[in-house]
Amino acid sequence: ETGVTQSPTHLIKTRGQQVTLRCSSQSGHNTVSWYQQALGQGPQFIFQYYREEENGRGNFPPRFSGLQFPNYSSELNVNALELDDSALYLCASSSLAGATGANVLTFGAGSRLTVL
């Protein structure tokens, strides 16, 4: 089975620009979540998508938005980039949205965004 793949692996943007990051979920998984990991910090939950709808969000402003497609792949869009948006963006997929079990996440290797 294939794991979680993310693209691009690295990218550089300037302040005020917009960026789209992509994620292909693991086969059999129907839920995708996104995390932001600043340098030297632990990942922070941005949001989760299930059945093409956002059904959980962390403390991030509306300029962070996402999409989930019928094949369960996902995009993270960030508008009006700020310097503090420089981070590693991790995508994770899982198969038990809404369940109370120990929903194990499978992470991708991330997209490293640098905002100049």
Partner 1 sequence: AQTVTQSQPEMSVQEAETVTLSCTYDTSESDYYLFWYKQPPSRQMILVIRQEAYKQQNATENRFSVNFQKAAKSFSLKISDSQLGDAAMYFCAYRSTVTGANSKLTFGKGITLSVRP
Binding site residues, partner 1, CB under 8 A: 31-33, 35, 40-45, 47-48, 55-58, 88, 90, 92, 94, 96-100, 102-105, 107-110, 112
Rounded CA separation 105/23 (Å): 14
CB of residue 80 vs partner 1: minimum separation in angstroms? 25
Closer by beta carbon to partner 1, 15 or else 57: 57
For tokens 């499978």, the residue is: 106
CB of residue 109 vs partner 1: minimum separation in angstroms? 4
SS (H, E, C) 36-70: EECCCCCCEEEEEEECCEEEEECCCCCCEEEEECC
CB of residue 72 vs partner 1: minimum separation in angstroms? 13
